[in-house]
Amino acid sequence: MKQVFVTGGSGFVGQNLIPMLIEKGYQVKALARSAEAIEKVERLGATAIKGDLSDKEAITDGVKECISVFHLAASVDFFASEQALKKLHVEATERLVSAAKDANVRKFIYLGAASVIMNGKPIRNADETFVSDNIIDGYSRTKLQAEKLVLRSNTKTFQTASLRPPLIWGKGDPNTLAGIIEAVQKGRMRFIDGGNHRFVTCHVKNVCHALYLAEQSEQSGGKAYFLTDGETPIFKDFITKYVATQGVSVPDKSVSLSTAKRAATVMEFVWKVFGFKGHPPLYKGLVNTLGLEFITTDKRAKQELGYKTLVTIEQGLAFMKN
């Protein structure tokens, strides 16, 4: 039976990927740094490898006798500094790639991010040739650095690929959904320019399907792939329906893009100068990711990986209510 190693297995994507891989006939080992994470991955059917990405011994144990690695672990934080994220996204990825090569792993599949091309402007129908000239947040900069490292490591015997989903959503989403509900509850929720721009999303089941296909493909070596749900919903409509699945109504309040950018700049400055904990209500990374049109094409993934959406937006919203 084929054995694979998963990092970030107790996270949102990992908790959906592990059962899918087991159903496909894989044995799964999953890195888990806490008792809670160990319990989660073992409940899903994986063998827990206790440790984190800074633990060379745990990583070596994890990749041993595995044909592939799925590197999902990341900190989705658009406010954290590049320096703070570099250890997790870049240095840890380099360590994992090295260990995988030494263990004769055949495939290394990296969960990248579509935000690596965001440039503070509307983006329409971008493909993998699009390169940003203005990445403003540490999360996207370090994810891009790690992606480049992974893709440069590609060889005939060690094939690598990076998948670039945009906003990942679905049942159990601990990031976007929880953040918006909190903003609503605190009276802070505002749509930027009315939220009438279009954007792309990728349901967590579709992300996991693409990860599996990339591991199976012989064409994916050394390449990045955008993923989407195959639809371009209006931001306000999608968010309103998404939050409504949890019985929460989003107020119809708006702020102009220029005002949002000014407020974000001020709030970031205040938070950093006074060392406040947590995130400000608004910051430049948030405006960039949620306030501008952002449309990428998944044509390459469809042509080379055989990717297709397993879950439509309508179906995904219906699943949220169950």
Is 139 assigned a catalytic role? yes
DSSP state of 193: G
The helix (H) or strand (E) run that includes residue 316 is: helix 313-320
310: tokens are 């397993």
CA 317 to chain centre: 19
Nearby residues of 302 by Cβ (< 8 Å), 6 or more positions away: 308
**DSSP H/E element including 159:** strand 159-164
Indicate the burial class of 213 (C-beta count within 10 angstroms; 0-12, 13-18, 19 or more). buried
26, 139, 212, 283: the active-site residue: 139
**Which residues, 6+ apart, have CB-to-CB distance to 75 below 8 Å?**
85, 88, 89, 139
Q: What is the residue whose two structure tokens read 């006939």?
A: 25
Cβ atoms within 10 Å, residue 70: 31
Phi, psi of 33, deg, nearest 5:
-95, -5
The total number of residues shown for the chain amounts to 322
**By C-alpha distance, which of 245, 251, 216, 260 is closest to 316?**
245
- Beta-bridged to residue 31, according to DSSP, are 49
How far apart CA 230 and CA 115 sit, in angstroms, is 17
Tell me which residues are annotated as active site: 139
